[in-house]
Amino acid sequence: MYYLGIDLGGTNIVAGVVDEDGNIIVKASCKTNIPRSQEEICDDMASVALKALESAGLTKNDVNYVGIGAPGAVNGATGVIEFTSNFGFHNWAIGDMMKERLGLDIYVENDANAAAYGEFCVGAAKDANDAIVITLGTGVGGGIIIDGQIYSGSNYAGAELGHMVIHHGGRQCPCGRKGCWEAYSSATGIINMTKEAMINPYNKDSILYKMIDGDVSKIDGKTAFDAMHAGCPVGKAIVDEYISYLGTGIVNIINIFQPEILCIGGGVSYQGAALIDPLRKIVEAERYTKHNDRQTELCLCQLGNDAGLIGAAYLGK
């Protein structure tokens, strides 16, 4: 059996054919090219989906449905994206519009939820019943699985874990609040910390400063980690601060949900042991259930950037 998923992003539209084991047989993609109309975007999604099927030597008759992961508040029951800031649309009936174009049943879910579902189905959380997936990218994405089901909240905007405040009156977050976990624990968060450290004149003799040639525009989410690995005390101080904030949010989430497993993905997660090992120490020291025999397992995601596509493909499964 094969499944067809679409990952609708602000930059790219990606469709993929996925098999029973979670292997992506083939992908097809195009640029999203926003801003433009709902109809134009749906036309391209349908075109890319059909192209993926053709490349796999399949037709619409070989799949039972199409799953779509999309940003925003997604009503999975109606197939309507009630709001998406990336596209500027309200009440986008994407499910009906895609069914008209493809003649197949359509399942739609928030993209972060779809990524979590992918890890739950065939990735790091495969054997769990309750799982949470955190993605550390430009922002902090979250997906919650309870009793094998995606938790979306009463208004389909649940699992916005990045927008819990961990520092009252702290850093400005794009959501409008101050002190959100996302402002500290995203890739953007560590980039901002690194830039602030490099502006400090006391750090101009550091390895980190020399690595970027004094040009803060060269800083990305791994710059501080690279400096730390090169023996830079400034880089290590930045990483330690970043991980302390990240750990604070993770402990909060574990104390609230007590999932069997919490998986971390996104670009920052590629730091591997340098990230996960100190996080485990923080969780072990600060979790509420220190003396409970059953503890949340903390691990890295396995599916990388394909998690959302695979999760979308499995939505109707």
Tens of pLDDT along 124-165?
999 899 999 999 988 898 999 999 999 988 888 889 999 999
Residue 240 confidence (pLDDT): 98
Domain count for the chain, please give it. 2
| 113 plus 135 within the same structural domain | no
| 243 plus 158 within the same structural domain | yes
- Domain of 53, in residue numbers: 3-121+306-313
| 116 plus 131 within the same structural domain | no
Give the residues of the chain that fall short of pLDDT 70: none
Residue 86 confidence (pLDDT): 77
Nearest 5°: phi and psi at 108?
A: -125, 140
Q: Is 152 exposed, middle or buried (0-12, 13-18, 19+ CB in 10 A)?
A: buried
| 9 plus 132 within the same structural domain | no
Residue 158 confidence (pLDDT): 87
Q: Is 58 exposed, middle or buried (0-12, 13-18, 19+ CB in 10 A)?
A: middle
| 240 plus 109 within the same structural domain | no
* Type of residue found at 193: M
Please state, in angstroms and rounded to a whole number, the distance separating the CA atoms of residues 197 and 208: 10
How is the beta sheet containing 149-150 ordered, strand by strand? 149-150, 140-146, 131-136, 261-265, 297-300
| 103 plus 168 within the same structural domain | no
Question: Which one, of 61, 37, 39, 36, lies nearest residue 50 by Cα?
Answer: 61
Residue 32 confidence (pLDDT): 94
| 147 plus 211 within the same structural domain | yes
> pTM for this structure?
0.89
Return the CATH number at 144: 3.30.420.40
Nearest 5°: phi and psi at 297?
A: -85, 130
| 112 plus 208 within the same structural domain | no
| 208 plus 293 within the same structural domain | yes
| 187 plus 284 within the same structural domain | yes
| 135 plus 39 within the same structural domain | no
| 150 plus 33 within the same structural domain | no
Q: Is 156 exposed, middle or buried (0-12, 13-18, 19+ CB in 10 A)?
A: buried
